[in-house]
Chain A
Amino acid sequence: MSSTTPRTSPEVGGMGHSIKRKEDARFLRGQGKFVDDVKLPGMLYLDIVRSPYAHAKITKIDTSKAMAIPGVLAVVTGELLKQYNLHWMPTLMSDTQMVLPVEKVMHQGQEVAAVLATSRYIAADGVQAVEVDYEPLPVVVDPFKALEPGATVLRTDKEGKTDNHIWHWEAGDKAGTEQAFAQAEVTVKQDIYIPRINVASIETCGCVAHFNKTDGKLTVWMTTQAPHAIRTVFALVAGHVGLSEEKIRIISPDIGGGFGGKVPVYPGYVIAVAASVLTGAPVKWIEDRIENLQASSFARDYHITAELAGKKDGTMQALRFKTIADHGYTDAAANPSKFPAGLFHIATGSYDFQHAFMEVDAAYTNKPPGGIAYRCSFRVTEAVHAIERMVDIFAKDIGMDPADLRKKNFIKPDQFPYKSQFGFEYDSGNYIGALDLAMKRIGYDDLRKEQAEKRAKGELMGIGISSFTEIVGAGPSKHYDILGIKMFDSCELRIHPTGKAIARFGTKSQGQGHETTYAQIIAEELGIPAEHIAVEEGDTDTAPYGLGTYASRSTPVAGAAGAMAARKVRDKARKIAAYLLEVAEEDLDWEPGKFFVKGSPSKSKTIQECAFAAYTNNPPGMEPGLEAVNYYDPPNLTYPFGSYICVVDIDKGTGQVKVRRFVAVDDCGNIINPMIVDGQIHGGLAMGLAPALYEEINYDADGNIQGGSLMDYLVPTSMETPSWETDKTCTPSPHHPIGAKGVGESATVGAPPAIANAVVDALWHLGVRHIDIPITPPKVWALLKEKGVAE
């Protein structure tokens, strides 16, 4: 399959065409239908009382003043839910999380009680009137202190639990790695903290739960990236109160950004469902922005001690990571169940190491749940940041240009498929090609000359590289499941008599443009114009079962299912065409849109003609109709990659870092819609700039959140964002039906280390080896002052 020249005409709009997004017609007109747009007759509103303390015993909840407000119908408490055994719920990592507390709260902003009222305003008044008495308990914020002997044990609900350790996980070859380090000519070591951040999607979380007491059916419109999995979780968790899976319908309507933050089940959803089951009325719960920033699940929060061993000539030999993972008070991440640290062991990155070992220990602290995969396939961002920082430190310690060092150690194109030291089988790659293109685009050699001239004048300029390897498309059923459900995905494709189609998928777009790109995949396979292929997702009553959209898995898994379903349709259409043309199947050739008789191209039947015949003139003995289903279990993950180069200038008076240029070369295999890929990369780069220079959620010693509103959680705008320069190489995935790899997360993963490397590059000659992100002006200024170069 050609990667650059489309096989189909623009009218068909198959792969490689930048057709406009079908969904934008409604989004641009403000006619999208999001959860908060759902309004049902008699709907009630829920608002949540939240804890001001990070750790405290609840001694009393007085609801009398709230209940006295006209329009307040009920105050739901943990004690009420306990009567139905719904006060705790399991997390996707088989830990447990409070829905509403009975004894104590474990983080600031935790749900304490919920007010049910006839209007959103009255619900808020009710929240203010609920009086809660707390008895503060010792707060554990630092995960290292949490793991010390004698630390206050937080999970007193877990019988026999005597510490705050959640799990230990390791991978790789410990003995071989130790030996390599012992014998190495050069070793470098660096503590690297990847701070806690929030996805801050433009739509907060929420739901409308409607339990119909007459037929016993529960319908929930929910901001979820994985509606089918949620339905099953509800059936498993609430089966004892009568919720049976065929009577649960989860609808994920238009979603305003998910980025991993809409995979978990939040207490608010469960409370709304419980309130609707108890009242029989529809109940709406919509988080406000501050609730979303303070109490939805967080990402990252990894404390990594990284070590790299190699030779003076620049050969990198061994890699070792020791990591403490801060999960807050419960492990509510959404990793494949066999991998509690996700795919963190992609950490050898783009390099051909001989030895590697890593271990991760997870800790409970008095913070909200952490560890979701923020626009990153399960801890890949953390891994890529650490390896790309370490490569730079190693290069500088041995006096080698970081680009030269990378090229020397890259896995070479002829080494694919490549088995990494941690056991992954990289499908394909051309890392040198991407880096060479990025260097050419940015003018690397000239920039190094400019830097030397500037440095002589005392000006601070830095150049940073990141040559990342992503790992997406979870995943093969042998290794990847969530709560035991294999991570396949699905497509049901039905061709109508007039040759138009509807395709339903087990995933759920949150802005990615699936309605367009899935249609393009099917258009490519069948030659039916993409504009005539309707795509639906997100309704568990109609869509086939799938694990949802996160971890860049839609194209690699569901996209493949779409292609495979289309091929099944094509196989049947071929039989019909042979019947109509009165030839044998083997005598037919296919070009997008029609079958024709070999050597006699004028004798042909279009796919539309075949579709019509399927309903009107089907061959004797053949079932009428033209449709197919595919549940795709991928044989491997896919490994998109790229090289990013960033140039920064530093203001010696203010400590401000200005990203002057940023070149991003991405390789995501074959491209479905170039315009959408560009959009994904632009957005991803902005979301990579964010943690590099701006975003961070901190807590003070008492567990009070710092930066818990958009006033202090610094989501960059177009004003902070440089003009991105993007380019691409194309190395198709050999195992994927359409050679695509997925692109949603590459830029978020690849950008932060390019920026961090550029800033450290600007300051290395002053003796600065590392700066933890976000690299804020006060942090830079303090270093400039320490080194005696501040203005």
Chain B
Amino acid sequence: MIPASFDYSSPKTLSEAISLLQQHGADAKILSGGQSLIPLMKLRMAAPKHVVDINGIDGLAYIKESGGFLTIGALTREADVDASQLVHDRYPLLADTAGVIGDPLVRNLATVAGNLAHADPANDHPATMLALGASVVATGPKGARTIAISDFFTGIFTTTLAPDEILTEIRVPMPQAGSGGAYLKVERKVGDFAAAAVAVQITLDGGSFTSAGIGLTNVGPMPIKATRAEKALVGKPAVESTIVEAARIAAEEADPAEDLRGSVDYKRSLVRVLTARALRLAITRAKGEH
């Protein structure tokens, strides 16, 4: 529980931070909320030689709608997302997710961007962003580029971010009328990673699904976008038989491993049960009934 020694910088601007990353390359780690990095360092599972603390950079904490997107800054805390009326009113999936990450103490520091950039398949926001069809902005020496979230994760703890890039913004498409979402998580106790969790975001028109996004948490080596289950919804009426079939397919798309959180069968079953429940909840929300 005692970290190895490391150097520490606290840049005041984004360009200063990026040049530090360029200078130290793979030896550097970015510290934002620190809710994953610090525990890993304490256990000496991570021993970065240089920690670049971006918390001193102004202008990176915001939640706002602009240009057809909900934009979330790199230093926006989970607690800020949880407290945002805008998020609760228009992005219930995001509100659900922010409310079940870690515990209140963790959420006071943890950032949404860090939750994504750490790329732990057990983290909650990857599935949420996959369901929402979000994108992220990566800022590096050559400026900013936008990456679709479906192209962002490349493996356990790995992403398409270059070592000298910082994830500076998350962009969630503004929902169309008739949209709703939900995130349901089974955890062993508060603060635990999910045994399984399911994020769904749907749009209804005339009683049928016109779009559907489904993301699965901690049931595979990477966050999973359940594309076959999504396809089983689009164009179909929002009735129980459609829900049950999509849930069945989502469970097939899960690729869980047995661990202390349960057997493969249990986790796969959880994905089926939670997908169906999340869809039912999302439908009520889309209809404005919840």
Contact = CB atoms under 8 A, between A and B. Distances in A.
Interface in B100-133: 103
B42 to A, nearest CB: 9
Interface string B235-267: 000000000000000000000000011110110
B2 A124 contact: yes
A503 B263 CA distance: 57
A586 B257 CA distance: 82
B94 to A, nearest CB: 21
B72 interface: no
A716 interface: yes
B5 A653 contact: no
B189 A720 contact: yes
Interface in A692-712: 694, 706-707, 711-712
A777 B273 contact: no
A782 B263 CA distance: 9
Given A694-B189, A720-B189, A125 B4 contact: yes
B190 interface: yes
A314 B2 CA distance: 60
B88 interface: no
B36 to A, nearest CB: 12
Contacts of A125: 4-5
A288 B42 CA distance: 11
Interface residues of B, number: 25
Contacts, number: 66
B250 to A, nearest CB: 14
A709 to B, nearest CB: 8
Nearest to A291: B1
Contacts of A413: none
A777 B189 contact: no
The interface size bin for chain A is 20 to 34
B188 A714 contact: yes
A714 B266 contact: no
A719 interface: yes
A785 B273 CA distance: 13
Contacts of B192: 711, 714
Interface in A760-788: 776-778, 781-782, 785
A663 to B, nearest CB: 23
Interface in A499-547: none
A718 B263 CA distance: 27
B262 A717 contact: no
B25 interface: no
Nearest to B47: A128
Contacts of B232: none
B186 interface: yes
A716 B189 CA distance: 7
B87 interface: no
Contacts of A661: none
Contacts of A290: 1, 43
A447 interface: no
A595 B188 CA distance: 61
B191 A717 contact: yes
Contact of A717 (B43, B189, B270): B189
A711 to B, nearest CB: 8
A409 interface: no
Given A707-B260, A781-B266, A128 B188 contact: no
A289 B1 contact: yes
B44 A654 contact: no
A121 B2 contact: yes
B269 interface: yes
B4 A777 contact: no
A790 B2 CA distance: 45
Nearest to B191: A717
A711 B274 CA distance: 23
Contacts of A121: 2, 5
Nearest to A121: B2
B225 interface: no
B52 interface: no
B273 A791 contact: yes
A714 B274 CA distance: 23
Contact of A653 (B4, B195, B260, B277): B277
A790 B265 CA distance: 12
A250 B274 CA distance: 56
Contact of B2 (A120, A655, A785): A120
A654 B188 CA distance: 11
A706 B43 CA distance: 17
Contacts of A714: 188-189, 192
Contacts of B2: 47, 120-121, 123-124, 288
A659 to B, nearest CB: 13
A717 B190 contact: yes
A778 B195 CA distance: 10
A656 interface: yes
Interface string A259-284: 00000000000000000000000000
B103 A717 contact: yes
A712 B260 contact: yes
Contacts of B263: 778, 782
Interface string B1-16: 1101100000000000
A653 B190 contact: no
B262 A778 contact: yes
23 contacts: A47-B2, A121-B5, A290-B43, A654-B273, A655-B266, A656-B186, A694-B188, A712-B260, A714-B188, A714-B189, A714-B192, A717-B190, A719-B189, A719-B190, A777-B195, A777-B262, A777-B266, A778-B195, A778-B262, A778-B263, A781-B269, A782-B266, A785-B265
Given A711-B192, A778-B195, 13 more contacts: A290-B43, A653-B270, A653-B274, A694-B189, A707-B260, A714-B189, A715-B189, A717-B189, A717-B190, A720-B190, A776-B188, A781-B269, A785-B265
The 3 closest A-B pairs by CB, nearest first: A124-B2, A653-B273, A288-B1
